Structure 1
Amino acid sequence: MTMISRRNLLAMSGAGLTLAACGNGIGSTGAAKLDARVDATRNYLLTKFPGTSDLEAKSVGVLWMPLVTEAGFGFGGSFGRGALRINNVTVDYYAAAAASFGLQIGAQQYAHALFFMTPEALADFRSSDGWQLGADARYALPDRGGAIAASTLTSTAPVIALVFGQAGLIAGASLAGTKYTRVIP
């Protein structure tokens, strides 16, 4: 059995993150391309989970992140780009990034949406230099039948986070520690 040095471990982690990011649109620019991805993600979510249309109607704005790539081998990270929409009109573009350390190996991709349920939560998000999802957010998971729980629709949380479309080899997806920053596509 061979031992892996710290230097090799860091090099492998960096290479894995770089490869995982290649299919994520990190290098691609253009608002039209990002808006098309957001449209496709929104349509998928509203079709597959019909209850989200009620959630969207009750929200004051939605941050759509159509593709987030996460990879890790000891050290890990994730990155994605998306658009903030108010009344389904794009008003800003954002990048989401997170770093992690621990017992992890693999890669996955997923989409997520943040539904801002109060004007104050949306204003805090838009005015910050780097916003992180706080303890006042509620995580909603659609059931296998495609429904959003009634408790989600009646929640008083200022932000509701919905993670969906996971594909890959890391179990679960968490938005904890993810930092959102306004970008120019």
Structure 2
Amino acid sequence: MTAIRFIRIIFIALASVLAFSGAAFAASKEKIERRTNEALSEFREDIGGANEVLAKAKGVLVFPLIRKGGIGIGGEYGQGALRIGGNTVDYYSTAAASIGLQFGGQSRRQIIVFLDQDALDKFRSSQGWEIGVDASVAVVTLGAGGAIDTTQLNQPIVAFVFDNKGLMYNLSLEGSKISKIHEDD
């Protein structure tokens, strides 16, 4: 095991313990629902073609707020909801760690769209799902005219990452670990 992988595992474990150590750290379901609705509304309003993508979705995993920060060693964490047919069916968290030249913090929204039923079923039955290991996720960019580049929608799972300035570019989600939040967490 490389030193980087070891540090990544330690950081994710530490972030997970801190995130789930008590009710004070966990966002309420109501807050997650409110933020999820806001993120989906913003996505539909600001991104051309968003409604068409969401209409094709077998499931939509929305992380309305992912916070990232670090000095040399960084980490990110967020909570969100999985919606099927417009209804929330489960809550999830995402966490990742990184090493390298970094200083400061940022926040973003992330929407993962499952366009294939098998991909959604595999995700839901997993005990922890890591992007790039358990599945490939194509990060979608905007095409001409500020609309979704539909040539990237031939993948079973696509992701949209945006902030208050719009869709973000050149962003990799690999290494992000997504886990179901259980009622007793």
Q: Which amino acid aligns with 1:151?
A: T
What residue in structure 2 maps to residue 148 of structure 1? 148
Q: Does 1:106 align with 2:104?
A: yes
What residue in structure 1 maps to residue 10 of structure 2? none
Q: Which amino acid aligns with 1:103?
A: L
Q: What is the Cα deviation at residue 27 of structure 1?
A: 2.2
Q: Does 1:51 align with 2:49?
A: yes
Residue by residue over 1:8-47, the C-alpha shift from the partner in whole angstroms, topping out at 9 and shown as x without a partner, is xxxxxxxxx9xxx9xxxx7243211110100000000000
Residue by residue over 1:29-84, the C-alpha shift from the partner in whole angstroms, topping out at 9 and shown as x without a partner, is 32111101000000000000131111111110000000000111110000000000
Q: 1:52/1:44 Cα in 2 relative to 1: closer, same or farther (>3 Å)? A: same
What residue in structure 1 maps to residue 60 of structure 2? 62
Q: What is the Cα deviation at residue 142 of structure 1?
A: 2.7
RMSD: 2.6
Equivalent residue of 1:84, what SS?
strand
How many percent identity over aligned positions? 37
Taking the aligned partners of 1:103 and 1:163, their CA distance within structure 2 comes to 22
What residue in structure 2 maps to residue 115 of structure 1? 113
Residue by residue over 1:131-150, the C-alpha shift from the partner in whole angstroms, topping out at 9 and shown as x without a partner, is 01236321102358431113
What residue in structure 2 maps to residue 30 of structure 1? 28
What residue in structure 2 maps to residue 139 of structure 1? 139
Q: What is the Cα deviation at residue 109 of structure 1?
A: 0.4
Aligned residues: 159
Larger radius of gyration: 1
Task: Using structure 1 for the length normalisation, give the TM-score.
Answer: 0.77
Report which stretch shifted further, 97-106 or 86-95.
97-106
Q: Does the aligned pair in 2 maintain the 1:61–1:122 contact within 8 Å?
A: yes
Q: 1:145/1:165 Cα in 2 relative to 1: closer, same or farther (>3 Å)? A: farther
Q: Does the aligned pair in 1 maintain the 2:139–2:171 contact within 8 Å?
A: no
Q: 1:139/1:31 Cα in 2 relative to 1: closer, same or farther (>3 Å)? A: same
Q: Structure 2 regions of 5+ residues with no counterpart? A: 1-14
Q: Structure 1 regions of 5+ residues with no counterpart? A: 1-16
